[in-house]
Amino acid sequence: MKNHHSPFCCIIALMCILIISGCAEQTVVHGIKPAEISMEGIKTLAVLRFDGKYGETVRGDFYSKLGEVKHFDLIDTMAVNALDKVIFDQIDDPRFLPVFDDLKADGVIMGRVSASIKDNSGIDQVEFKEGTGKYEKKKNIFGKMVDVEIMKTVLKPVKYTIRQASLTAHFKVFHLSTKKIIATSKVTESFNKKYGGDKENSYSGNKLSELPSKSQTLNNLSYDVASQLVGKIAPTRISTTVEFDSGEFGSGSGVKDLLKKGIESAKLGDWETAMELWQIALEKEPESAPANYNLGVAYETFGELKNLYKARTLYKKAVKSGDKSIYIEALARIKKSIRDRQKYEQQRKMLNNVPNNKNKDSGGVKIY
């Protein structure tokens, strides 16, 4: 006899597996991404104007984000009218040096912004299901016969708009002591998204009614470009979501309980208790990959090079004892984190070696 419920039972079982597998306990690990460009000798930075129609939008976002990372002493130059004469392509022209001297800064940064945005509209023929008014008998998921309306497929015209936009910021950093340009680069952010048409019934913000204004699109690009610009010249914080390992498979019941209690403590921010529990788990099972891995996550969370080195050792032990992808990913991640932290420490050391400028408040210039 056929089992009419088996397909339904299989679907339910699959959903349960997906729900269980998708509920892994997680935490957020914070790290430092070093500046991409060496700013050696610059501790006090004056941010000049950014040319272009959207220049001041980018400059405002850039200045705000630089203030958040708190790497440089920033000088706001918007009240210094004499700086309006400075030309982006001639920022190192000796004629501007007297103006820069009044800033009492180590260096200045200036930019030029270009942007484009356009909408392309059209009509898609989209398939819709439409009732026919006719019915047929079918079994529902419980095996009961019910009346089900017969549907037909019809094509209907649906308007769409494709928004395409791009924003590019060129910048130069001029060192006032060496009187040389020490950095010149650019960053670009693009946007390409379809609203309406065959996307009208999606659940990812693609309805035509959700098309933002052009200014909003460009403001969003400005924010992203500013973030990139900051990452070019200053260290920034980054966050990574990582999974804990509860040791569901391959661990003894006592160790498994310690692993879970440790994860519960870590999620509450009590890392000291979590680490104690995982250490006890290692005393019971010295080769426990989940315990070594979770301890590695704890040390990685603390940051600082000495803790990152400990995390690397623990991740190596986890990889040696198990072949889970999260162990391998963690080992690759911690190696990069160590390199980034080493570079960041060098940049911080160079910054600390720069002598402080005096009389920074002169000339009506505001410094933060």
CATH of the domain at 65: 3.40.50
> Does the global pTM surpass 0.85?
no
The pLDDT of residue 23 is 62
| 366 falls within a domain | no
Cβ-contact 92, 179 below 8 angstroms: yes
| 359 falls within a domain | no
Same domain, 203 and 75: yes
The residue among 217, 216, 197, 219 whose CA lies nearest residue 208 is 197
| 120 falls within a domain | no
Range of the domain at 203: 35-115+166-234
Same domain, 262 and 175: no
Same domain, 263 and 218: no
> Would you give the DSSP letter of residue 50?
E
| 178 falls within a domain | yes
| 29 falls within a domain | no
Same domain, 81 and 209: yes
Same domain, 260 and 298: yes
Q: Is 245 helix (H, G, I), strand (E, B) or coil?
A: coil
| 339 falls within a domain | yes
* Centroid of chain to Cα 160: 30
> Would you give the DSSP letter of residue 202?
-
Same domain, 186 and 309: no
> Would you give the DSSP letter of residue 136?
E
Same domain, 217 and 260: no
Mean pLDDT, consecutive 10-residue stretches, the chain (368 aa), reads 41 42 79 92 94 96 94 86 89 90 90 98 93 91 92 94 98 95 96 94 86 97 97 94 86 85 95 97 94 97 95 96 92 96 91 69 35
Cβ-contact 54, 167 below 8 angstroms: yes
Burial class (CB in 10 A: 0-12, 13-18, 19+), 224: middle
Beta-bridge partner residues of 156: 126
Residue 302 belongs to domain with CATH number: 1.25.40.10
Q: At 15, phi and psi to the nearest 5?
A: -60, -40
| 192 falls within a domain | yes
The pLDDT of residue 356 is 75
Cβ-contact 83, 77 below 8 angstroms: yes
The single-letter code of the amino acid at 146 is V
| 17 falls within a domain | no
**SS3 sequence of 313-331:** HHHHHHHHHCCCHHHHHHH
Cβ-contact 154, 130 below 8 angstroms: yes
The single-letter code of the amino acid at 125 is Q
Distance CA 19, CA 177 (A): 61
Same domain, 322 and 202: no
- Sign, CA torsion 87/90/92/93: negative
Side-chain-facing half-sphere of 368: CA atoms under 13 Å: 14
Same domain, 221 and 248: no
Give 88's contacts (C-beta < 8 A, 6+ positions apart).
Answer: 51, 110, 111, 112, 170, 172
Q: At 300, phi and psi to the nearest 5?
A: -65, -35
Please report, for residues 72, 241, 341, the alpha-carbon distance to residue 31 in angstroms, rounded to integers and kept in the order given: 19, 11, 8
Same domain, 76 and 219: yes
Side-chain-facing half-sphere of 64: CA atoms under 13 Å: 12
Same domain, 40 and 93: yes
Task: Report how many domains make up the chain.
Answer: 2
Same domain, 224 and 247: no
Cβ-contact 228, 171 below 8 angstroms: no
